[in-house]
A and B are shown apart, each in its own frame.
Chain A
Amino acid sequence: EPEVTQTPSHQVTQMGQEVILRCVPISNHLYFYWYRQILGQKVEFLVSFYNNEISEKSEIFDDQFSVERPDGSNFTLKIRSTKLEDSAMYFCASGPRGHNEKLFFGSGTQLSVL
């Protein structure tokens, strides 16, 4: 079964450093998402992406965050200057139609900001 893959599985960084989290969505999907989950809390929406532009973003997704689809397969989330409170599990998800459908999630990248 096709799956969303994310790398790295764990990322440790110093506060103020830039990080890039990488995702390879399912190949025939058109809509891509980033979610995050702080330990013990619910899964929070960050941003959705379609046709090379952001479709929707949450309040969490401020100017420190950006997304990119640099080629036909990768989808990245960049945090420009990490803060302690950015420590969380970041999940990438994709879907074929973009609404009223199940999303397929990757296994996540655990980001720890020290």
Chain B
Amino acid sequence: GESVGLHLPTLSVQEGDNSIINCAYSNSASDYFIWYKQESGKGPQFIIDIRSNMDKRQGQRVTVLLNKTVKHLSLQIAATQPGDSAVYFCAEGANQAGTALIFGKGTTLSVSS
């Protein structure tokens, strides 16, 4: 879930800037976290995930940071491009078969040229 104060519903950046999208989760038992990107009219697309035994994971132009102490997750996008414009959702999961991913509120990222 999301906590008030950390979640920004919208984020506007210039092309080439770095973007940071934040998410707070509520369940201390969650041990798997994932970021999805959702473009208009489409289903969520996987970006990057991280397990609770890590605090940082890097992908192509994206980095996820996990702070279990404060139950905070962030997604960093380097050199943001117009094609990155979308709604970004974090989701959390527990280590139990069949347990669903629970999504937080999304952040709409708008990238201007």
On A, residues with C-beta under 8 Å from B are 4, 31, 33, 35, 42-45, 48, 50, 55-56, 58, 91, 93, 97-108
Contact = CB atoms under 8 A, between A and B. Distances in A.
| Interface pairs A-B: 3 shortest CB-CB | A55-B98, A105-B43, A100-B32
B96 interface: yes
B102 A45 contact: yes
B79 interface: no
Given A42-B104, A42-B105, A100-B51, A50 B98 contact: yes
Contacts of B99: 48, 55-56, 98-99
Nearest to A106: B43
Interface stretch (B12-20, B67-75, B87-95): B87-95
A105 B44 contact: yes
Q: Is the interface of B mostly helix, strand, loop or mixed?
A: loop
Contact of B44 (A43, A56, A58, A101): A43
Question: Could you say which of B31, B49, B93, B95 has the most chain A C-beta atoms within 10 Å of its C-beta?
Answer: B93
A99 B97 contact: yes
Contacts of A93: 43
B95 A98 contact: no
A4 B38 CA distance: 15
A43 B38 CA distance: 10
Contact of B100 (A45, A97, A108): A45
